[in-house]
Amino acid sequence: MWTWIWIGLVVVAVLYGLHRAATWAERRGWVYYRTKDRPRGGMSLIGQIYHPSIEYTVEEEQSQRLDQNESGDPETPGEPDRPR
């Protein structure tokens, strides 16, 4: 009987320790544990590992937009270049 009580107390203590460690890591910016404000527009580490082509495509699109903006070409084809 006392064995199960001790096992239960140890499990609760370990879970609380993991909770405190995750909260500490979140304060340092390493993980998102309890907050709902996750970064937008980026892929998670798991997504980068399993779908690297998606991130490459996003980076290439951003690069093309930058090149287009620097060259002075209109952003959409067929749109006349208007003076600003």
Q: Judge if 26 and 48 occupy the same domain.
A: no
Which residues form the domain of 59? 43-72
pLDDT of residue 61: 76
pLDDT of residue 42: 57
Number of domains in the chain: 2
Contact 33, 22 (CB under 8 A): yes
pTM for this predicted structure? 0.43
Contact 35, 41 (CB under 8 A): no
With respect to residue 78, please indicate whether it lies within any of the assigned structural domains: no
Q: How far is CA 67 from CA 2, 60, 80, 84, in A?
A: 71, 10, 18, 19
pLDDT, one tens digit for every residue, the chain (84 residues)? 899 999 999 999 999 999 999 999 988 888 887 776 655 555 566 666 666 666 666 677 777 777 776 666 555 555 555 555
